[in-house]
């Protein structure tokens, strides 16, 4: 990760250099304050007053320059308006085209202005964090509260954008009117449902959205994909060549995600019955379900490495392996072999291309669409998780064709084999392989900066720090010391991790705790889902359809829960508060699940399962949202990226959970529930203790 001061210098618009926040100067001032307080030549009160005054002056300089540039843009647009009016009287095609380009040029200058505001907002937030860390004082809280609504303060002017909104509206309206209306006499105001598709306006609106945080839910949901962003917004130009983006290829990428999640969960309601029919114990379903996760531990690495060179070939390979794996899974019934069944599931795990799915979005989707594509990736996964068990509930039939049996156990395999065959044909004729860059030189510049999320929330949660911010600052502090090193050292610090070990070294203590939390929630959810069929059959005599409906209902809660958290709860509470509260709710759900003193009942099981699953979903959303902001930007690219680390943590948790179910089965089904819940309880308590300890040590 390159020091912020160096990045700020590199990305400044040179002619506006004197109006940027003086980050290096203020950083040196903070160090001077610390030395003066240490030797006793300065008291804390004077330092706070002096630093506040310096910040006020910096913000005032930024805001006044912003207003000046808005005025210049407004004057340009007014002149263009007169030109436009004259052309309406005497239209000339050449001049209309020239005028349209002039409006687009004004839009590009507006983008530069938005980038100016955004980069200063990041600098302001970082210097406040640095001051808090240096002096152990929540100065940010004090500064924001005293300046947020004060009539003399310019702080919130950075985020209100009233003038910018007017400029955007003027450019948009005029570009709309300059489009070929084919003789229509309708006003543009008579057709509000027809948005302008001009790329400049779309980019401007995306930049305004980032600053005002008006896309709360989409942004929150997109962070679940854990596509790590660069620390600073990029220059105005989109570094992803438009030729690399192909809409149908993106759809195919998302379809792969959806089908894989369906493939994962379609067998859960029937895995115990299938194991029994092959002469194994019902609890062997843990191994059957977990075999896919075991293989995924390895497939995630080689698919991530393969995506450095191609996207099409790994997706083709994934489809073929999954087609063959599902065929073996279905044939195991007639062959009467549990080993063929397990081999089929292992093959399905070896076909997991989720690393490719993430990488394609990160590398090949333009910045203005990347957040929506990431949110679509998460939505496809959630929908697949719900559709898998629901589809299993529909496959309740039994018939034979020649020597092949088609029943509730084998039909999931046959249906998914056919689905992957259709997908493979669709992929072969439709997918467009984008050109690849060499990994070492591929340094994506991304303007969708998630790092400054807290600051960009503006009036709702301005500049408030979380413990994750502070842990990130520890990482940034180390790099700031090398701000004046050679360019060669800077290039070295940008290189992606070259191994799991080097990637692990880039993780701060709080990030490791968050990966532990991710491990915990995946473990708890896998125990709940994988043993649901065995537990409900033993205690309640549920049919396969009942189990499938229950699991499908759990899966359908994913998107509504994320809407509530992303749109409302995350704006009312700090992320660390939601994180800890969710862990405690998971703990309560686990305790409620135990069969101890009273006869086990359906309401107890359903309520406890719903509490555990929903709390874990809330926890996963907040946890991945934090991880996407505080992981090193070096983990945003390369084979060993942040997405791979989180996938490996979650997959290992699922493997251990499924192995626990099978091992506990040897002690009898009557003890299965409590024995599998005990490790869940221990892991959950450990994560809560780690969370509390980490936060207390950081504050």
In tens, the pLDDT along 5-19 reads 666 666 777 788 888
CA 310, 313, 319, 320 torsion-angle sign: negative
Question: 244 or 683: which carries more pLDDT confidence?
Answer: 683
| pLDDT for 461 beyond 50 | no
Give me the pLDDT at residue 111, please.
Answer: 81
Q: Which of 80-89, 155-164, 234-243 has the lowest mean pLDDT?
A: 234-243
Give me the pLDDT at residue 646, please.
Answer: 77
Most confident of 39-43, 85-89, 429-433, 554-558: 429-433
Mean pLDDT of 579-602: 91
For residue 77, what is the enclosing H or E element? Answer: helix 44-89
* Rounded Cα–Cα distance for residues 641 and 632 (Å): 10
Through-space distance between the first and last CA atoms of the chain, rounded to whole angstroms: 24
| pLDDT for 196 beyond 90 | no
Enter the tokens of residue 488.
């060669």
Give me the pLDDT at residue 634, please.
Answer: 66
Give me the pLDDT at residue 489, please.
Answer: 43
Q: For residue 314, what are the contacts with CB-CB under 8 A and spacing of at least 6? A: 303, 306, 307, 353, 356
Instruction: Categorize the per-residue pLDDT at 187 as very low, low, confident or very high, splitting at 50, 70 and 90.
Output: very low
Question: 315 or 80: which carries more pLDDT confidence?
Answer: 315
Contact 397/408 with Cβ under 8 angstroms? Answer: yes
At residue 547, the 3 state secondary structure works out as helix
Question: 57 or 446: which carries more pLDDT confidence?
Answer: 57
3-state DSSP percent of the chain in helix, strand and coil, to 5: 75, 0, 25
Give me the pLDDT at residue 588, please.
Answer: 95
Most confident of 57-71, 87-101, 408-422: 408-422
Average of per-residue pLDDT values in the chain? 77
Give me the pLDDT at residue 181, please.
Answer: 46
Mean pLDDT of 658-667: 89
CA distance to 60, 334, 643, per residue, from 331 (Å): 72, 6, 34
Instruction: Categorize the per-residue pLDDT at 428 as very low, low, confident or very high, splitting at 50, 70 and 90.
Output: very high
**Which of these, 120, 82, 97, lies nearest to 178 by C-alpha position?**
97
Mean pLDDT of 125-133: 78
pTM, entire model: 0.67
Which residues are paired to 405 by β-bridges? 400
Instruction: Categorize the per-residue pLDDT at 307 as very low, low, confident or very high, splitting at 50, 70 and 90.
Output: confident
CA distance to 52, 109, 541, per residue, from 79 (Å): 41, 16, 78
Give me the pLDDT at residue 33, please.
Answer: 84
| pLDDT for 194 beyond 80 | no
| pLDDT for 21 beyond 80 | yes
């Amino acid at each position: 990760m390159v020091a912020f001061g160096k990045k700020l210098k590199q990305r400044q618009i040179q002619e506006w250099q004197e109006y940027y926040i003086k980050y290096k100067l203020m950083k040196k001032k903070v160090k001077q304050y610390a030395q003066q307080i240490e030797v006793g030549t300065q008291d804390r009160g004077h330092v706070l007053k002096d630093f506040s005054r310096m910040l006020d002056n910096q913000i005032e300089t930024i805001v006044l320059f912003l207003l000046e540039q808005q005025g210049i843009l407004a004057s340009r647009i007014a002149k263009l308006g007169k030109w436009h009016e004259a052309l309406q009287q005497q239209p000339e095609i050449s001049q209309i085209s020239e005028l349209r380009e002039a409006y687009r040029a004004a839009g590009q200058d507006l983008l530069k202005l938005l980038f100016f505001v955004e980069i200063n907002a990041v600098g302001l937030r970082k210097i406040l964090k640095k001051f808090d860390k240096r002096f152990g004082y929540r100065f940010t809280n004090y500064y924001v509260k005293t300046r947020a609504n004060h009539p003399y303060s310019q702080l919130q002017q950075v985020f209100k954008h009233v003038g910018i909104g007017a400029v955007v509206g003027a450019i948009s309206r005029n570009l709309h009117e300059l489009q070929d209306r084919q003789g229509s006499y309708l006003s543009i105001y008579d057709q509000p449902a027809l948005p302008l598709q001009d790329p400049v306006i779309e980019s401007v609106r995306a930049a305004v959205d980032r600053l005002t945080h008006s896309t709360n839910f989409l942004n929150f949901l997109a962070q679940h994909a854990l596509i790590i962003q660069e620390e600073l917004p990029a220059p105005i130009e989109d570094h992803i060549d438009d030729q690399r983006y192909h809409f149908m290829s993106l759809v195919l990428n998302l379809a792969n995600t959806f089908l894989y999640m369906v493939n994962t969960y379609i067998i859960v309601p029937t895995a115990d019955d299938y194991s029994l029919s092959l002469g194994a114990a019902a609890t062997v379903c843990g191994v059957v379900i977990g075999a896919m996760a075991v293989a995924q531990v390895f497939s995630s690495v080689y698919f991530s490495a393969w995506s450095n060179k191609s996207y099409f070939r790994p997706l083709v390979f994934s489809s073929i392996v999954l087609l063959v794996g599902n065929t073996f899974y279905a044939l195991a019934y007639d062959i009467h072999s549990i080993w063929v069944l397990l081999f089929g599931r292992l093959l399905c795990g070896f076909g997991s291309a989720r690393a490719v799915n993430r990488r394609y979005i990160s590398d090949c989707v333009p910045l203005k669409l990347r957040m929506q594509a990431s949110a679509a990736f998460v939505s496809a996964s959630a929908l697949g998780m719900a559709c898998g068990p629901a589809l299993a509930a529909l496959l309740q039939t039994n018939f034979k064709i020649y020597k092949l049996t088609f029943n509730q156990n084998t039909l999931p395999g046959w249906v998914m084999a056919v689905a992957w065959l259709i997908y493979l044909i669709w992929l072969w004729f439709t997918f467009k392989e984008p050109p690849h860059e060499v990994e070492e030189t591929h340094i994506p510049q991304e303007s969708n900066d998630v790092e400054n999320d807290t600051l960009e929330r503006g009036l709702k949660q301005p500049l408030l720090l979380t413990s994750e911010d502070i842990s990130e600052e520890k990482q940034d502090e180390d790099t700031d010391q090398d701000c004046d090193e050679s360019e060669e050292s800077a290039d070295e610090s940008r290189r992606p991790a070259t191994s799991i070990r080097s990637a692990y070294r880039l993780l701060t203590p709080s990030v490791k705790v968050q990966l532990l939390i991710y491990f915990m929630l995946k473990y708890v959810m896998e125990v709940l889902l994988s043993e649901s069929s065995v537990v409900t059959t033993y205690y309640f005599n549920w049919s396969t359809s009942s189990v499938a409906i229950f699991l499908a209902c759990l899966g359908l809660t994913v998107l509504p829960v994320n809407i509530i958290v992303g749109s409302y709860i995350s704006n009312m509470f700090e992320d660390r508060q939601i994180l800890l509260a969710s862990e405690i709710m998971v703990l309560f759900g686990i305790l409620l699940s135990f069969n101890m003193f009273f006869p086990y009942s359906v309401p107890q099981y359903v309520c406890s399962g719903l509490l555990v699953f929903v709390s874990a979903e809330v926890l996963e959303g907040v946890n991945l949202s934090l991880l996407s902001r505080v992981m090193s930007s070096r983990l945003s690219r390369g084979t060993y990226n942040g997405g791979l680390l989180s996938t490996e943590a979650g997959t290992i948790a699922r493997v251990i959970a499924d192995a626990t179910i099978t091992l506990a089965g040897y002690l009898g089904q009557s003890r299965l529930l409590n024995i599998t819940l005990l490790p869940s309880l221990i892991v959950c308590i450990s994560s809560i203790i780690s969370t509390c300890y980490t936060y207390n040590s950081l504050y």
